[in-house]
A and B are shown apart, each in its own frame.
Chain A
């Protein structure tokens, strides 16, 4: 009752309930579901029962299959695809186990027409009734049927990737199964089926696959599977094509060889024989074989072709035929066709075996077949095997074959490119390139070959690169791609030497040289880094001083098989410390011939900036071709296989030191030389660990100095006490050899201000003596002992500008300051000149008779012994000598010897008075002149010395007379001057800082001015001089004061001063500029000091601290 209620609904025609239809629908659905559940339950129970009885004799797979498939069918109808799939998987497992049971094996199947076309994706192609045989199913059809059902469900579940993956595995496994039953199947059934299966699977999965819906990894895996399917299909297709004689149209490349040479030949029960009416075809095939010419590689490369077959087809085919004898085989193998096909192969008969002849074969089978016959027989047999007209069409002609071959290769390559397996893709690109090349499509071929070469070269697989690179080179040559062709030739030469014969390598080189010397359309730099490598010589880097040129020796390794002439060569140096402007190119313009292997070349090295340098880029020219190499060789071929050496830091090849003093020039003598006399000036030249070979010294004298005699410049070795020079001297002596070791003196010539150094002076300290004359126009002036005034040392200073050019190419210049970057800077040497004496005078005594004893004190100014032979005094106006008129002291004084830095005195007796009439000419003379005739004996290495030219010519007795003149000013005694200036006493209270004080001087006329009558004699010009640091003067410092011309007239000049500093200071001085010093008598006579007290303490006068 309840069940009825559950299943029934009441429908009132007049007033239907609102929810009636919905209720009805839900109830129907419920009923259907219940029914399904019950049916499923029932089937599952039945299947369980059958499974339990599986190993019982009564068990029947057919019943099991019906139940299983019915259940799967039910699931599929209600869209329970996963469940349906599970049932089919279980069915497949069960079937696989069933067919393996011994004794249960039945007919395999696959013998019907059209079975060569795979049905792995089409479950309905054959009705199941045809598959069933007794209680079992034929494996050939049933396994495909099961896979077709699975794939149908997988496609419904939108899982094409799984179809592809399972499909590929299925094809591989099924192919094995086919090979096991190959002897009962038609000829090459297995290969044809695989081609068909792969094609179907590719088309079905690709059409149902939509890009971008899955993760990238899964997508790449899908394309990899597609690539594998294409690749598998391609291999089988090539095998079939080979069997019918298209082998000569296939590239014997590594990929084809690897695919085919490891794939065994088909193993039919008996190899197909030639049909009786095929003689014309056999003839045609033979003709084709004879016409085939082996492909000649570019550059005349002779290489054994790679095999496309696992063993000789001729032998394999005949072996598989019955009643074949070894003797007849030999006859066949000697035929032209055989030798044409396999020029390098020798017939091997030892491994031949006989097979038992199969019954039922006609008698003609005993005769071994020729190759052409094998092709024709295979063609006929395949024609009967292949039911797909499209596939057969692909074998109908070479053109059709190539089209299909290309299609499959492209398919595989494209899919591999989309997957992770890039290498597979690139390799197959090479196969496409081979076809393009064959058809004259060189552009495409070159592009594809480039990809392959880039892959092999990038990963360093040289054997494989050597196979492809000649093909690329050939394409480039045909395309007139000179740059590419050259580059390929260079790469061929760079490959391992064992990969090519020497003759072939020489051919590569000759191509490069021929092209380099021809007119290239677009000359491009050629990178020969792999062929020409270079390195610095082993050992420490070359060390150079700043601005020095040098010679760089570089080892260059040539990978060319023959000598090669480089028209020019250039090598850059890169500074390690800076990258911007540190690149310098060294050029060698002369042609260099590189031998194969190691070469040493030398390059001139211009001066470089300080720092370390490494080798950069090698560039050069071969004919019109410029090349460059970036590659450092690692010291020879022994290291070339060290793959880590690419990361080694490059070794510095050159070190240029920072500027340092290379030579020192200094004055040899620091003491003064005689002025106005030719003197030797010594210049010490001290090389500091640097050779001065060929050095040139430029000499330029400053004002007041001239070089005397250009031919007597002397140079001698100089024994320096410092350690450095001793070492240098020793080294120099060793380098120069014993002949020059003792040579330490030479006279040099000054030519246009230049002196060239002798070689012996290159490495030793030497001294250069140059005769010079310091010119002093001024007459020496004596000074009073009361007011000693020494002449300034600057007056006697003269300069010599020296510029020393040295180094290998006079690139070095001596600089005083090493850190200076100015190369033109010259060294200025100061030379001090002086008079032999400084003269001071004093009045030694004033006698009652008016005689004055004038003491002349001579200070020796030089470091040399002076001998005074004579002295006389030319007195000024107003003084006369007392006794004789010659003005000479007692002759017994002379010769008077004055040691260096000592003093001597000479007394002159004079008196006041008018000179004689004959001396009128001298009356205007206002100064007395002291004349001294003297001689000097000194050493030039110490200081002043006898004048140049005299010392050599003069004998010992000869007087080395020099005359020294000095002006003296004699002041008249106090009573005689015209004017007296007296400093009036200061206030008794003393002076204080800041306090006004009046300074007063009294000027008194002592006598008339005879000489100044005409002038305004009633006025006198005065001037007050004061140190402005000590005094502030208020009022006029300079002015005219009225002073009567009468004797005894006097005036007072006062001026207001403020002392500024405390202590003993010199007071302001009153001077009378218009009056000669000798006519003024001063009181006090010389400078004196006065005391200034500090300021009184006062709150209103503060000095800041």
Chain B
């Protein structure tokens, strides 16, 4: 089954700083806009949940002498097929990569 997903990194100011369309389904021209819309609207829900659950990982850190700069951000994935384990491991990988890149 063809699946599609949209991964996005949103900065602390709710600005999208990275966007990637992933998935095996052929890309629709209008999909990007719709995906953006859904993810943007989902920020409301994410923000709401951030106060009520500890399940969402929030990265906050004060940079010590600017050597390592952790930028608070949110990873969001829009997907059309339910695969909790896969999504969880995807986020873990992304998180590790982000820390690596950020530390360079």
Whether the pair A464, B33 counts as a contact (CB closer than 8 A) is: yes
Q: Known A421-B45, A424-B41, A427-B41; judge A463-B13 contact (CB<8 A).
A: no
A643 touches B43 (CB 8 A): no
Complex CA distance for A261 and B31, rounded to whole angstroms? 11
What residues of chain A lie closer than 8 Å to B59, measured between beta carbons? none
In the complex, are the beta carbons of B33 and A423 less than 8 A apart?
Answer: no
Interface pair A424/B30, CB less than 8 Å apart: no
Given A307-B30, A467-B33, check contact A643 B17 (CB 8 Å): yes
Interface digits, B65-83 against A, CB 8 Å rule (1 contact, 0 not)? 0000001000000000000
Contact of B13 among A306, A459, A641 (CB under 8 A): A459
Smallest Cβ distance from A447 to chain B, in angstroms? 21
Which listed residue, A261, A307, A421, A460, touches B16 by the CB 8 Å rule?
A460
Is B30 touching A306 in the complex (CB atoms < 8 A)? yes
B29: CB under 8 A from chain A? yes
Chain B, residue nearest A253 (CB)? B37
Task: With A459-B13, A459-B15, A460-B15 as known contacts, state yes or no: A255 contacts B37, CB within 8 Å.
Answer: yes
Known contacts A421-B44, A644-B71; is-contact A304 B29 (Cβ 8 Å): yes
Cβ contact within 8 Å between B40 and A420:
no
Q: Main SS of chain B's interface residues?
A: helix
Q: Bound complex: CA of A424 vs CA of B43, how far in Å?
A: 10
Q: Judging by beta carbons under 8 Å apart, are B33 and A420 in contact?
A: no
Chain B 19-64 interface residues, beta-carbon cutoff 8 Å to A: 29-30, 32-34, 36-38, 40-41, 43-45, 47-48
Which of A224, A422, A459 counts the most B-chain CB atoms under 10 A from its CB?
A: A459
Quote the shortest CB–CB distance from B43 to chain A (angstroms).
6
Against B, the Cβ 8 Å flags (1 = close, 0 = not) of A252-266 are 001101100100000
Instruction: Please indicate which of the listed interface residues B11, B40, B43, B47 has the most CB atoms of chain A within 10 Å of its own CB.
Output: B40
Q: Give the nearest-CB partner of B30 in chain A.
A: A306
Contact of A20 with B by CB under 8 A: no
Within 8 A of B (CB), among A203-234: 224
* A461 at interface, CB cutoff 8 A: yes
Given A304-B29, A304-B30, A461-B16, A258–B44 Cβ distance below 8 Å? no
- A261 contacts B36, C-beta separation under 8 Å: no
Q: How far is the CA of A459 from the CA of B71 in the complex (A)?
A: 16
Q: Which residue of B lies closest to A455 (CB)?
A: B40
User: How many Å lie between the Cα of A224 and that of B44 in the bound state?
Assistant: 11
A420 and B17 contact, Cβ closer than 8 Å, known pairs A258-B34, A306-B30:
no
Partner of A424, one of B13, B17, B44: B44
The 8 Å CB contact of B36, one of A224, A423, A463, A644, is A463
Q: How far is the CA of A421 from the CA of B47 in the complex (A)?
A: 9
Bound Cα distance from A261 to B37, whole angstroms: 13
As a 0/1 sequence over residues 461 to 504 of chain A, the CB contacts with chain B under 8 angstroms (1 = contact) are: 10110010000000000000000000000000000000000000
Q: Given contacts A307-B30, A420-B48, is CB(A464)–CB(B37) below 8 Å?
A: yes
Q: Is the CB of A423 within 8 A of B34?
A: no
Contact (Cβ within 8 A) B41 A423:
yes
Interface string of A428-470 (1 = CB under 8 A from B): 0000000000000000000000000000101111011001000
Asked if B34 contacts A257 (CB within 8 A), the reply is yes
- A254 with B11: CB separation less than 8 A: no
Residues of B within 8 A of A456 (CB): 40
Q: How far is the CA of A661 from the CA of B61 in the complex (A)?
A: 52
Complex Cα–Cα for A238 and B67 (A): 54
Whether B48 pairs with A421 at a CB distance below 8 angstroms is yes
Contact B45 A464 (CB under 8 A): no
Q: A304-B29, A421-B45, A424-B44 are in contact. Are A258 and B11 (CB under 8 A)?
A: no
Closest chain-A Cβ to B75's Cβ sits at a distance in Å of: 16
Of A257, A304, A456, A463, most buried by chain B (CB within 10 Å of CB) is A463
Minimum Cβ distance to chain A for residue B18 (Å): 9
Please, which residues of chain A bring their CB within 8 A of the CB of B36? Answer: 254, 461, 463-464
Nearest Cβ on chain A to B3's Cβ, whole angstroms: 14
Residues of B within 8 A of A458 (CB): 14
Which range holds the interface residue count of chain A? 20 to 34
Interface centre among B29, B37, B43 (most CB of A within 10 A): B37
Please, which residues of chain A bring their CB within 8 A of the CB of B16?
Answer: 459-461
Interchain CA distance A254-B36 in the complex, whole Å: 9
Do A258 and B15 contact each other (CB < 8 Å), given the known contacts A304-B30, A423-B43?
Answer: no
Q: In the complex, A745→B38 CA distance in Å?
A: 83
A427 to B13, CA, bound (A): 18
**Chain B residues within 8 Å of A258, by CB:** 34, 37-38, 41
* Docked complex Cα distance between A459 and B17 (Å): 11
- CA of A422 to CA of B41, assembled, Å: 9
Bound complex: CA of A642 vs CA of B2, how far in Å? 34
Among A421, A424, A458, max chain B CB count under 10 A is at A421
- How far, in Å, is A968 (CB) from chain B's closest CB? 88
CB B70 to nearest CB in A, in angstroms, measures 12
> Using Cβ atoms and an 8 Å threshold, which residues of chain B touch A644?
71
Known: A254-B34, A460-B15, A463-B33. A422 touches B40 (CB 8 A): no
Distance between Cα atoms of A463 and B15 in the complex (Å): 12
| B96, chain A: closest CB distance, angstroms | 21
Question: Which residues of chain B are within 8 angstroms of A643 by Cβ–Cβ distance?
Answer: 11, 13, 15, 17
Question: Closest CB-CB distance, A811 to chain B, in whole Å?
Answer: 42
- Binary contact readout A749-763 vs B (1 if CB under 8 angstroms, 0 otherwise): 000000000000000
Per the bound structure, the CA–CA distance linking A423 and B36 in Å amounts to: 13
Shortest B16–chain A CB gap in Å is 6
B47 (CB) vs chain A CBs: closest residue: A420
- The reply to whether B34 and A306 form a contact with Cβ atoms under 8 Å apart is yes
Which of A307, A456, A461 lies at the interface centre, i.e. has the most chain B CB atoms within 10 A of its CB?
Answer: A461
Enumerate chain A residues within 8 angstroms of B32, measured Cβ to Cβ: 463
Q: What residues on B are CB-neighbors of A307 within 8 Å?
A: 30
Complex CA distance for A644 and B47, rounded to whole angstroms: 22
Q: Which of B40, B45, B47 contacts A461 (CB 8 A)?
A: B40
CA distance A524 to B36 in the complex (A): 34
Closest to A307 in B: B30
Contact check, A261 vs B34: say whether CB atoms are below 8 A apart.
yes
Residues of B close to A460: CB separation below 8 A: 13-16
Task: Known A422-B44, A424-B44; judge A306-B33 contact (CB<8 A).
Answer: yes
| B37 in complex: contacting residue of A224, A254, A304, CB < 8 Å | A254
Q: Which residue of B lies closest to A217 (CB)?
A: B51
Residues of A with C-beta under 8 A to B40: 423, 456, 459, 461, 464
Report chain B residues within 8 Å CB of A422: 44
| Interchain nearest-CB distance for B4 vs A (Å) | 12
A453–chain B nearest beta-carbon distance, Å: 13
> Chain A residues near B37 (CB, 8 Å)?
254-255, 257-258, 427, 464
**Shortest Cβ distance from residue A496 to the other chain B in the assembled complex, whole angstroms:** 11
Interface membership of chain B positions 87-101, coded 1 if the CB is closer than 8 angstroms to chain A and 0 otherwise: 000000000000000
Closest Cβ neighbor of A456 among chain B residues: B40
A463 to B32, CA, bound (A): 8
The answer for the CA separation of A306 and B30 in the assembled complex, in Å, is 6
Which residues of A are found within 8 Å of B47, using beta-carbon distances? 420
Cα–Cα distance between A641 and B9 once the two chains are bound (Å)? 13
Write out, one digit per residue, whether chain A residues 349-384 have a CB within 8 A of any chain B CB (1) or not (0): 000000000000000000000000000000000000
CA separation between A224 and B71, bound complex, in Å?
30
* CB-nearest residue of chain B to A499: B33
Q: A254-B34, A421-B44 given. 20 additional CB < 8 A pairs?
A: A224-B48, A254-B37, A257-B30, A257-B34, A257-B37, A258-B34, A306-B30, A306-B34, A420-B44, A421-B48, A423-B40, A423-B43, A423-B44, A460-B16, A461-B36, A463-B33, A464-B37, A643-B11, A643-B15, A643-B17
Q: Report 11 cross-chain contacts, Cβ distance below 8 Å, ordered by A residue.
A: A257-B30, A258-B41, A261-B34, A420-B47, A421-B48, A458-B14, A459-B13, A460-B13, A461-B40, A464-B37, A641-B17
When A and B form their complex, which 3 residue pairs have the shortest distance between CB atoms, in order from nearest? Answer: A460-B15, A254-B37, A421-B44
B residues contacting A by CB (< 8 A) are: 11, 13-17, 29-30, 32-34, 36-38, 40-41, 43-45, 47-48, 71
Q: A residues within 8 Å of B by Cβ?
A: 224, 254-255, 257-258, 261, 304, 306-307, 420-424, 427, 456, 458-461, 463-464, 467, 641, 643-644
